[in-house]
Structure 1
Amino acid sequence: MGSQIRQQTRIFFSPSIYAADFSNLENEVQRIPSADWLHVDIMDGMFVPNFSMGYPQITALRKHTHKLIDAHLMIETPIRYIKNFADAGADLITVHLESDTPDKIKDTLQLIHLQGKKAGLALSPDTPAEAVLPYLNCCDLILVMMIHPGIPGQCLIKGMVKKVEKIRTYIDSANIECYLEADGGINLNTVREVFRAGANVIVSGNAVFGNKNADDVIQKMRGIWESEYELCNRS
């Protein structure tokens, strides 16, 4: 685990807007100046049981921030809507491996790139780590769901930490530039093990926006990362 931390020279924090106050997105963005990105969960009520947000909300959010907008599409057949999300202002668009056929997923990732955006691939908990291997060269980011998608408030599934570790080894072995993002159940008590597994993009919703001092949570997480990185590089 130490070598995985040593190799990650920078960590990106992408708080999930799903846990914010939708009625005042401008204020919510201002509460988290330390965030690197903004994570936007899109749910269609079909791929996942809940329904939330869409490209109009990304258009509204874009007006209030210059941060990278990290759109996580939990929707069926996402290729239908890639241009809409790109035009709305998403900078990085992530689709689920389970949301379409293998050929269509590759076509979807290609279409995201054709729109001039970064392309991400998400894995639900039941999907094994090795399922990403045919897609690694098509992706700018791999997202590991640490909980079952679309159901907020769950605790981190411990077995997902091992999945993050495996995918980190795949990325490093392939010698490619690809972010490794972890999403779900991440808070001040669990973030350290996620760092140690090799994730370099951290999504956290309730732990951040559920706190009166939301930005303090991000800064504390960053402090945990810095202490881990320093300790690792002294050894």
Structure 2
Amino acid sequence: MCRHFVPNLTIGAPVIESLRKHTKAYLDCHLMVTNPIDYVEPLGKAGASGFTFHVEVSKDNWQELVQKIKSKGMRPGVALKPGTPIEDVYPLVEGENPVEMVLVMTVEPGFGGQKFMPTMMDKVRTLRKKYPNLDIEVDGGLGPSTIDVAASAGANCIVAGSSVFGAPEPAQVISLMRSSVETTQKSN
């Protein structure tokens, strides 16, 4: 997150660089910034795996942005806020140089601990029907009480913060959510 699109800053390139020294894990960077293209070089150099930008701030230069993200060895994704129509991401998925993942925000971006918005599952269902092989990520209010509805709608990538880090047994929460997504994918 960044203070341009949302009011608070979470993690930047220096933290990604530090983490990369200790893990080969997929480091997914979701940038809520006004000028995402300015962050491609530093995050690529730091070792980010994925670079997700918001459709709301990149309508004029998304093709250049996706190309630059890929040229730095990162996987491009596009996010949309709850009030943004799902159709706004179609050109980015269907383009000549498409994004590889769509992130449907299930809360208003900017602050952790918000309540999951179940109405956003219509967007997930629409994407899953239109693009059966697309990675669809959901972020906001995901936890044991909401994971099944998200997985059933077609989400296969889950972002969870408060429900994991606030749990007495974080590993159990992660396991439960992973199991829900894997079980749903096998049955579809």
TM-score where L is the length of structure 1: 0.74
Distance 1:198 1:164 in 2: 6
Tell me the alpha carbon deviations over residues 81-103 of structure 1, each in whole angstroms, 9 at most, x when there is no partner. 10110110001110001123x23
Secondary structure in 2 matching 1:48: coil
Asked if 1:195 is matched to 2:155, the reply is no
What percentage of residue pairs aligned between the two structures are identical? Answer: 38
Structure 1 contact 133–170 (Cα < 8 Å) conserved:
no
2:146 maps to amino acid: T
The corresponding residue for 1:151 is: 111
CA RMSD of aligned residues (A): 1.5
Q: 1:229 to 1:139 in 2, by over 3 A?
A: closer
The corresponding residue for 1:125 is: 82
Deviation at residue 228 of structure 1 after TM alignment: 4.2
2:93 maps to amino acid: L
Distance 1:229 1:143 in 2: 18
Asked if 1:141 is matched to 2:98, the reply is no
**Where does structure 2 lack aligned partners over 5 or more consecutive residues?**
none
Distance 1:145 1:74 in 2: 11
2:20 aligned to which of 62, 67, 70:
62
**Where does structure 1 lack aligned partners over 5 or more consecutive residues?**
1-42
Deviation at residue 46 of structure 1 after TM alignment: 1.9
The corresponding residue for 1:210 is: 166
The corresponding residue for 2:3 is: 45
Distance 2:122 2:172 in 1: 28
Deviation at residue 76 of structure 1 after TM alignment: 0.9
Deviation at residue 229 of structure 1 after TM alignment: 5.2
Q: 1:190 to 1:114 in 2, by over 3 A?
A: same
The corresponding residue for 1:113 is: 70
Tell me the alpha carbon deviations over residues 21-41 of structure 1, each in whole angstroms, 9 at most, x when there is no partner. xxxxxxxxxxxxxxxxxxxxx
Secondary structure in 1 matching 2:126: helix
The corresponding residue for 2:176 is: 220
2:130 maps to amino acid: Y
The corresponding residue for 2:29 is: 71
Distance 1:75 1:63 in 2: 25
Secondary structure in 1 matching 2:158: strand
Q: 1:180 to 1:49 in 2, by over 3 A?
A: same
Tell me the alpha carbon deviations over residues 36-74 of structure 1, each in whole angstroms, 9 at most, x when there is no partner. xxxxxxx22120122222110111111221111111111
Deviation at residue 220 of structure 1 after TM alignment: 1.6
- The number of residue pairs the alignment matches comes to 185
Q: 1:142 to 1:226 in 2, by over 3 A?
A: closer
TM-score where L is the length of structure 2: 0.92
Asked if 1:164 is matched to 2:124, the reply is yes
Distance 1:171 1:200 in 2: 13
Distance 2:17 2:36 in 1: 18
Distance 2:121 2:183 in 1: 20
